[in-house]
Amino acid sequence: MGRIIVRKPIVKLSANGGSRTRVDRLAAEEPLELRVSGKALSVTMRTPGNDVEFAHGFLLTEGVIGGRADVSVARYCDSVDDTGRHTYNVLDVALAPGVPAPNPGVERNFYTTSSCGVCGKAALDAVVLQSRFETGTGFVIDSEVLAKLPDALRAEQRVFDATGGLHAAALFRSSGELLVVREDIGRHNAVDKAIGWAVLQDDIPLHDAGLLVSGRASFELVQKAAMAGIPMLAAVSAPSSLAVELAAERGMTLAGFVRQGGMNVYTGAERIIDDD
């Protein structure tokens, strides 16, 4: 498995003009080629770790699979680099018998950056996907419970503590329990890893859970939540206009600037209970 943290020498400059050499810890970024039945589907830059979860989450949020039963096996294609080190940057997923191969519209350009979730789409009309699952569920949460979740998420961001360079995503219950926390240099990768965890737990659709992200709420994150049947997306930062429009269209709750002291609710306010 690739390293999650990489140490590099740097020169640290201080405000008073001093400088010193030290070793800094950086979040690792490596390519992962995802294959389906031996055929390359996507190459994305990601933080190594939880790659099988990522693959399941990615395939579910792209509409290729509907749950764990649609995958027979996921395994690394082991190879050796120029230094003789084993690399695990190619993952091949075999679909279960009877599961159709990915639609050509799912195919992405050969290279996709860690900051981009939909820009690598091969066709513009493949950007908006229809979910197999409804999101208009009866999930509700107390506003005070929701407001505390970003602090709970931050407390679980161990690699961020070491590097300052990762996004995080978590699935949560209405009680405030964090079911899973995943970190990645790409915010959409972190979401795919968290959703992939639920796929492997046979907990899809996620009608009784919300999704919390450490940054902004973009269009592709709302879409990924909808593809998993998640009724609520909460973000520490702001949403985009398209994110709000898509959340309203899918009957989802979208909250931004979530923190102790308040939040902005852009759609689906009925799912957030305010006792004040």
pLDDT along the chain (276 residues), means of 10: 85 90 93 93 93 98 96 87 74 96 65 55 62 90 98 92 90 98 96 98 97 96 97 98 96 97 96 86
Sign of CA dihedral 191, 67, 251, 268: negative
DSSP string, 7-53: EEEEEEE-TTS-EEEEEEEEE--EEEEEEETTEEEEEEEE-SS-HHH
pLDDT value of position 163:
85
Give the pLDDT of residue 109: 47
Domains parsed from the chain with CATH numbers: 30-126 (3.10.20.10), 141-273 (3.40.140.10)
Among this protein's residues, is 119 annotated catalytic? no
The torsion region of residue 49 among left (phi > 0), alpha (psi -120 to 50) and beta comes to: left
Given the residues 27, 116, 166, 228, the one annotated as active site: 116
- The confidence score (pLDDT) of residue 110 equals 43
Could you give the CA distance from residue 93 to residue 64 in angstroms, rounded to a whole number? 11
Predicted confidence at residue 165, as pLDDT, reads 81
| pTM, two decimal places | 0.89
CA distances from 257 to 116, 165, 227, 233 (A): 22, 20, 23, 12
- The pLDDT value given to residue 124: 45
Count CB neighbours of 151 within 10 A: 10
Q: Tokens 């039945």 label which residue?
A: 37
